[in-house]
Structure 1
Amino acid sequence: MNVEDLVRDSLRELAVEEASAGPGFTDRVLAVRRRRRTHRLVSVAAATAAVVAVAVAVPMLKDGRDDVRPASVTQGDGISAHPDQSPPSGLIAAGRSALAAYYTTALVAKNEKEATLERTYWLLDPDTGKYEKDTRWSFVAVAPGLKTAAVLERTLPAARIGLLDLATGEVERWIPVGKGVAGLAFSNDGTELVATTYSEHPDPLEKLGNAGGSEGEWTSTHKVSRTGFLLLDLAGRDGGVWHPVASSSAGGRADFAFTRDGQHLFATGGGLVTLVRPTFYDLSGKESAAPANEKHLRWDVPARLSPNGRLAALGLAEEYQPAIAPEAGSLPGRSYSLIKDPLTGKEITKVRGAELLAWADDQRLIAWERTTGDDETYKDRLVLVTIGSDRVVPLSGVREHPETGQEPWEPVFAER
């Protein structure tokens, strides 16, 4: 019996013996480059030992023979991959998750000292399986099912929210709001929408002088401009109920999103990358304790909970970060992220990927796989990774990270 057989048998026994660990979406932050020497990879057997040590059932492995479907298919659970396209023009999907949209961000100067970051979106046409550029919108959130998107017009904060039919490209309904909106997120079942309100554009920049850094360099101002949120029941006809919740002292964009159960909200962003544990609120805007299965999650890891709620996707494992300037014998690109028990926060295992974006099913995730070079630049591509395996399935082409100019494209995933 080889190591793979031993791993499979061990995981199967755990899945049978152990009880369930309990039931159990937003802008991602650009991954921070760190200088680390890459250590030797853990073996599959070591990963199995970690699973046994924390005694948590991990889903059993598949045999690796994935069903790769044509890019025009938006339903089902197969894989639609375009490893030659970056950004993609054809559908990218795996399992329950699909790339519903992507956007690029560009600096737009207001004057010599002030600017804002503005987005341009490409939206999935669910009938053709193609991504189409749509410059009408400054912010887009896609509902589960890939039929409807909530959109904001170009000027932020916006005075109304549009519900866009993705197949026709037409707004079926406008929802006037009494507060300026600049962020949107759907509930897990797609029936509710939380709209984050701001007094100013939430992505402001200013030009530095000599005292703050290199003269002429643009940097975020981290202005405190969030004012609260609106809760909208999409079956209703009004503009929702507004609740005041000011920004943290860090400022910057700090949009709200729903927890898995839809009974709480958490704040994403906040200006500082180090503040990765979100603050939770009840639906009236009062700060509250985190739901039991989300207290160990981070706002900067979009995948969050597995579909069955038993696994939590966390950030990069420190010892497996690829070196910016790899030395002889290091393995650039072999980044690993942590999978933990959402209730206890204990590590279960590690999985390939520098950032975990969405769950394909209870054992596979869509991730950014990062590669680095000795010129201190890095590239990444979308891949499908599997818990308990080092195998990756490329989903997109390589995304460049230029040192200057327009930022690279950013994915928006939704359940299909």
Structure 2
Amino acid sequence: MNVEELVRAALREQADEQPPPGAGLADRVLTVRRRRRNRRIASVAGAAAAVITVAVGVPRLTSGGHDVRPSGVVDSHTVSAHPKQSPPTELVAAGRTALAAYYTSKSVFSNAHDGVSTRTYWLLDPKSGRYEKTTRWSWVAVAPGLHTAAVLEQHLPVRRIGLLDLASGKIKRWIPVDHPVGGLAFSPDGTKIVATTYGDNPDRFYQEDKSGNAFREVPCSRTGFYVLDAASGKGSWAAVDTTSDDPDAEPVNTRQDFAFSQSGGSIMTATSTAPWIGFYDVHGRPVEAPASEAHRSWYVLAGLSPDGTKLAGDFAGKKWHTSSWLLDPVTGKPKTEIHGQQLLAWASDKSLIAWDLTKGEKNEFHQRLVLVTIGSDKEVPLSGFRKGNDGAAGRWQPIFADR
């Protein structure tokens, strides 16, 4: 049975009717999406790389052969859902994509005003199919295939990158770097790593009052990026200037990482001027956006469909109160509307993993992971609902990878 048949079977089990949504829900979701934009630039590039899905074999990091898929997650045509678990303790996956890890954040203060946002990760153990907690790493990027993760130790930025074997939990190799690194992302085929370099901790913030409601921007200390071969650790560093002469430019956020484009041929990052996303070659020189990504939004993580014919778009809220657009990648015009408050990753050419609410829910932050399908009115719940509002301590954030 393929993933489409499984989805149809699961959808038939969902209730046909639920109470209508609360008044103004679409406007509230859209408003908060706009409100988040400035602060979300900080982490979107790295997150976008985490949800990229590709249809290629993943080379081993130690040889030229193809990676052997872990036995616990080998079947890429199944749906693994745990709608009562939030955060999940067992594998969540749909089609080609799995929840490879997730993390929570908390603020650690050195005095009344200066703080650092720190992460606790839960990584998928491919042998048991369960998520295991670790506090050792400040940053984790999972390679396609769920076999290897690139990790950074605490107290960013750091001068070495670890390649972690997810099956054994052991570091296979360290890659030393001359320019300290604060963020990582794999290329779509898993053969390369882009490492964003910083002069200071990119997770620093300044709190102006004890309530936590007012913040002062901490200047971005980003210096550039490395492009490294994952197998050999060899590569080069490129300097990238974070300043802009545009008087309408917004401040560059403290964390503003680089990631690979979905074609893998260029490096991308969120920018401080419209269209809010920029592309570079491996030498740090600005280049034109790939044709299929010219209309990509930096805050819509799913990006291109595996077959390259559809581009995940922004919140729609037309046919349903929580729905999103799928765009024509070439023109950027809406092609169809699909369920989902926020599109996170493609499960197949016709289905995606998304955050969404239940009908009638008035709290726009009470979301769960769902599988949504083009042309379907139904959703398949994949996880339980997240607690707390945006930015609340302990609120978990997903990291997806192609399996």
- TM band (smaller chain): 0.7 to 0.9
Offset, 1:358: 0.6
Distance of 1:225 and 1:393 partners within structure 2 = 42
Residue 226 of structure 2 contacts residue 236 of structure 2 at CA under 8 Å; is this kept in 1?
yes
Kindly report which structure 2 residues correspond to 1:253-402, keeping only aligned pairs within 5 A, or say none: 253-268=255-270, 277-317=276-316, 319=318, 334-371=321-358, 378-402=365-389
Distance of 1:35 and 1:237 partners within structure 2 = 43
Residue 377 of structure 1 contacts residue 401 of structure 1 at CA under 8 Å; is this kept in 2?
no
Distance of 2:338 and 2:331 partners within structure 1 = 19
Kindly report which structure 2 residues correspond to 1:15-164, keeping only aligned pairs within 5 A, or say none: 33-34=29-30, 72-164=72-164
Corresponding position of 1:246: 241
Looking at both structures, which has the greater relative contact order when contacts are Cα pairs under 8 Å and sequence separation is at least 6? 2
Question: Taking structure 2 as the reference length, what is the TM-score of the superposition?
Answer: 0.77
Structure of higher CA gyration radius: 1
Return the letter of the residue paired with 1:176: P
- Greater shift after overlay, 177-186 or 309-318? 309-318
Corresponding position of 1:43: none
1:177–1:33 Cα change, 3 Å: same
For these two proteins, the number of residue pairs brought into alignment is 332
Unaligned runs of 5+ in 1: 1-31, 37-70, 321-330
Offset, 1:405: 4.7
Deviations 1:267-317 (A, max 9, x none): 04x6x7x96731111111001110000000112111100001010001111
Distance of 2:322 and 2:175 partners within structure 1 = 43
Return the letter of the residue paired with 1:202: P
Offset, 1:348: 0.4
Distance of 2:336 and 2:185 partners within structure 1 = 30
Deviations 1:159-192 (A, max 9, x none): 1000000000000000010111111010011000
Offset, 1:223: 1.5
Residue 372 of structure 1 contacts residue 378 of structure 1 at CA under 8 Å; is this kept in 2?
no
- Greater shift after overlay, 95-104 or 366-375? 366-375
Report the aligned-residue RMSD: 2.5
Offset, 1:404: 7.5
Aligned to 1:293, the other structure's residue is in SS state helix
Residue 199 of structure 2 contacts residue 223 of structure 2 at CA under 8 Å; is this kept in 1?
yes
Residue 205 of structure 1 contacts residue 218 of structure 1 at CA under 8 Å; is this kept in 2?
no
1:221 equivalenced with 2:217 (yes/no)? yes
Distance of 1:280 and 1:141 partners within structure 2 = 20
Corresponding position of 1:325: none
Offset, 1:110: 1.6
Corresponding position of 1:205: 205
Corresponding position of 1:177: 177
Residue 197 of structure 1 contacts residue 230 of structure 1 at CA under 8 Å; is this kept in 2?
yes
Unaligned runs of 5+ in 2: 1-27, 33-70, 244-250
Corresponding position of 1:196: 196
Aligned to 2:128, the other structure's residue is in SS state coil
Aligned to 1:290, the other structure's residue is in SS state coil
Offset, 1:374: 8.0
Distance of 1:412 and 1:292 partners within structure 2 = 26
Corresponding position of 1:234: 230
Distance of 2:392 and 2:94 partners within structure 1 = 31
Structure 1 residue ranges (4+ consecutive) displaced by more than 6 angstroms after TM superposition: 372-375
- Greater shift after overlay, 121-130 or 250-259? 250-259
Return the letter of the residue paired with 1:236: S
Residue 365 of structure 2 contacts residue 390 of structure 2 at CA under 8 Å; is this kept in 1?
no
